[in-house]
Structures are given as C-alpha cells and as structure tokens.
Amino acid sequence: MILEIADIHIHPGQNAAFEAAIAKGANEVIAHAKGCKGFKVNRSIESPERYVLQVFWETLEDHTVGFRGSAAFPAWRAVVGPFFAEPPLVEHFDLVLESA
Amino acid sequence: MILEIADIHIHPGQNAAFEAAIAKGANEVIAHAKGCKGFKVNRSIESPERYVLQVFWETLEDHTVGFRGSAAFPAWRAVVGPFFAEPPLVEHFDLVLESA
C-alpha cells in the first residue's frame, strides 16, 4: 500500500465551494480508480486555504501510470483545479510506523 | 478529533537511525501523552529524507498546551531533534471528508 499526499493551497474565500468540489471529485472520480483503497481530506486550522488530500493506492503505478494516464485524471482536475492557487505538491509515501 | 501533521526533513544518510529514534519517541513519549489517540509515520518515495508524522489528538489544546507545555516535549525533541535538517513544519487539521 502506498500513500499519496497532496498539499493543496486554494484561493481565499472559496472554502465551501472547494469542499463541495473535492467531495464530488473524490467520490465520483478517485474512488472508482483502479487500485484506489480510500482517501481523506483535511483542512488546516492555522492556514485555512491549505488542504491535505491523502489517497491510499495499492501500488505506486496505480496512481502515477494508471490514474494519471487515464481519462479520470483530466476529469478530476477539471473539478478541483480551478480552486488551486498554485500547483499542489504531490509525493508518495511508504508506511514506516503506526500506533497499535 | 484533531490531526497534527508534521513535515520533517532529516540530514541525508540517517534514515535507519532516525526511524529507530522516531519509533522510540512515538512509542515511549507521544503515545502516553494525554489526549493522544494514535500516530503514524510515512517516508517519501521521491524525497527519502522527508517524513510525514501524523498524530491524532482529542483536542487542539492537548497538543499545543498540554503536550508542548509538559516535560514530554523536550524528551521527544531530545530523541528526534538531532536528525532534523530544518525545523519541521507543524500544523493542525480538521477532517473535511473521508471515504466510506
């Protein structure tokens, strides 16, 4: 299992609209992608225009090759992209440690 | 429930030692802090010196006042701090959305 973390900064004053958009994009697009095992979205208390999207993928390639190479990627970006104040920082992670 | 996300960059070549240290610090210090509901640590595939620590807290103040104001904070920093290449970026997050 691979964790994708996307650090997202949106334009100010669009929180409600962005949250509706990312819910739509995640539920209607990401959730149906091959290898997608789940997702969550958190909003920063200190920086309310900052969101962290986490997506769990079966393999790295399910995201980098499968998802990004499919028609789902432009569909996703069409829904959430207009809110981005800058390109999101996206990296993939291995789990090192977890509490019981 | 509040999610703390700490973005950590360590000095190169110290991954194994850092992972042992953060396991010790998380299990022996953070896990016992009042209000701590769990934690996880992930390592970036693209940037192997980058780690993301997530700690779940019952309330924001359990971390910012309780933990940071207690003797546990310097104990934790003594274990992991020497590995940090720069001060970690730490923010707190509300949950916006989660897959079923």
Q: Is B25 helix (H, G, I), strand (E, B) or coil?
A: helix
Model pLDDT for residues B16-71, shown as the tens digit of each residue: 999 999 999 999 999 999 999 999 999 999 999 999 999 999 999 999 999 999 99
Task: Answer whether residue B52 is part of any domain.
Answer: no
Task: Answer whether residue B54 is part of any domain.
Answer: no
Residues of chain A contacting B42 with CB distance shorter than 8 Å? 3, 5, 93-96
Can you say whether the dihedral through the CA atoms of B69, B73, B78, B80 is positive or negative? negative
The nearest alpha carbon in chain B to A56 belongs to B99
Using CB atoms, pick whichever of A5, A42, A60 lies closest to residue B3: A42
Task: Answer whether residue B67 is part of any domain.
Answer: yes
Give counts: helices (H), strands (E), chain B: 3, 4
Residue B83 belongs to domain with CATH number: 3.30.70.100
Read out DSSP for B66-100?
IITTSTHHHHHHHHHGGGBSSPPEEEEEEEEEE--
Provide the domain count of chain B.
Answer: 1
Model pLDDT for residues A38-92, shown as the tens digit of each residue: 999 999 999 999 999 999 999 999 999 999 999 999 999 999 999 999 999 999 9
Task: Answer whether residue B12 is part of any domain.
Answer: yes
Whether residue A52 contacts residue A89, with contact meaning beta carbons closer than 8 Å, is answered with no
Confidence band of A7 (pLDDT split at 50, 70, 90): very high
Question: Tokens 């309330």 belong to which residue?
Answer: B59
Q: Give ipTM to 2 decimals.
A: 0.95
B86: left (phi over 0), alpha (psi -120 to 50) or beta: beta
Domain limits for position B41? 2-46+59-93
Is pLDDT above 90 for A100? no
Confidence band of B82 (pLDDT split at 50, 70, 90): very high
What's the pLDDT score for residue B100?
A: 85
Residue environment code for A64-81, b if the CB has 16+ CB neighbours within 10 A, otherwise e: bebbeeeebbeebeebbe
What's the pLDDT score for residue B15?
A: 98
What's the pLDDT score for residue A68?
A: 96
Whether residue A4 contacts residue A61, with contact meaning beta carbons closer than 8 Å, is answered with no
Task: Answer whether residue B99 is part of any domain.
Answer: no
Contacting B residues, span 41-100, partner chain A, CB-CB under 8 Å? 41-47, 50-52, 60, 91-99
> Can you tell me the distance from the alpha carbon of A60 to that of A37, in angstroms, rounded to the nearest whole number?
12
Task: Answer whether residue B16 is part of any domain.
Answer: yes
The nearest alpha carbon in chain B to A50 belongs to B93
